[in-house]
Amino acid sequence: MLRAQPSAISHSLLFFFSVLLAGAVALSFVVGGRSAPARPVGRPLVGHLQGPFMSTAGGRPCTPGFPSAASARRLLKPSRAQMPEALLFDCDGVLVDTEKDGHRVAFNRAFEKMGLGFEWGVEEYGKLLEVGGGKERMTAYFNQVGWPANWPEDETQRSAKVKEIHLLKTDIFSKMINSGELALRPGVERLVSEAISRGVKVACCSTSNEKSVAAVVDLLPSDKASQFTIFAGDIVPKKKPDPAVYILASEKLGVPPERCAVIEDSHIGKCAGKSAGMTVVVTKSGYTGDEDFSGADAIVDELGDPGNEKVTMDFIANLMPSA
């Protein structure tokens, strides 16, 4: 069988495209005098591991191909525009793992001083944490097990008694913090320092009483604690998982929600941050390890002290929406 023979023009075209192909292959290995990465640098794949105990969720899938040298440099070292403009920390479970050995103990000491005869166990308190806010938590508990026998039946008077217990509990908790019974979680001071050095605003957004939150924030060195704006307690009508406290922080700080990053430790906190339209990193705490964190932008066991960093400002920047 005869085969068609290529013409001279076909030979020329074949040679031309061969040269183009060879050039493209060469450029894919060397861009601007530097080796190109094996895959694009940018947001990790959904669920892509980022080191020990670290995963991401809700990120953008990587697309095939190679970035330009300029793009690679921007992604490896995010620009100021890609950095969050505000870093918003929850308090309990994020700054300090306060719940089991802090707030729970303080509630029980307050119950004892008031002669109420209630004592919240470790497992029981973990379930109560599904209710945001200390006063709301006590109210839900009393509604379930029954109100103290000698208390009035009037709802307003009962609310006043709950507030009285909560004030006592807050005073006990603050003394526990000031006495050094509780310490900052690993990586908190490092990440706060990094944010401040990058010109990122820092704040604490919590359902806890403002006095308790201030006592925790003051565990930081004074030059860092003084940079914090605190949004806490009854500053908003609805508590987490409602996004009200994060929306308020966005408004007061003058930073759009999409330029805010949130550090949370609980399901209700994650829901509040995401509902506010913010990027959320979850750092699991003693009570929250098994909670549902689907929809979070990243999940870690801790922020990590120097030399063992799990979350850095560059890491957070790569989770943020494109500027």
**Which residue numbers are catalytic?**
90, 92
In the numeric block, which tokens belong to residue 239? 């508590």
User: CB under 8 Å to 208, separation ≥6 — which residues?
Assistant: 91, 92, 103, 133, 134, 232, 233
Q: What is the DSSP string of 141-161?
A: HHHHH---TTS-S-HHHHHHH
Nearest to 281 by CA among 59, 40, 41, 42: 59
Which amino acid, one-letter code, is at 297? D
308 in Cβ contact with 314 (< 8 Å): no
Question: How far is Cα 304 from Cα 188, in angstroms, rounded to an integer?
Answer: 8
Phi and psi at residue 170, to the nearest 5°? -65, -40
Q: Are 209 and 170 in contact (CB under 8 A)?
A: yes
Cα distance between residue 155 and residue 134, in whole Å: 17
- Identity of residue 140: A
User: What b-and-e string marks burial along 199-213, b requiring 16 or more CB atoms within 10 Å of the CB?
Assistant: ebbbbbbbbbbbebb
By the 8 A CB rule, do 31 and 25 touch? Answer: no
Residue 104: which of 87, 122, 78 has the closest Cα? 122
User: Which contacts of 164-167 are long-range, i.e. CB under 8 A and separated by 24 or more positions?
Assistant: 164/114, 165/110, 165/111, 165/114, 165/116, 165/138, 166/110, 166/134, 166/135, 166/138, 166/209
**Measured distance CA(49)–CA(118) in Å, rounded:** 44
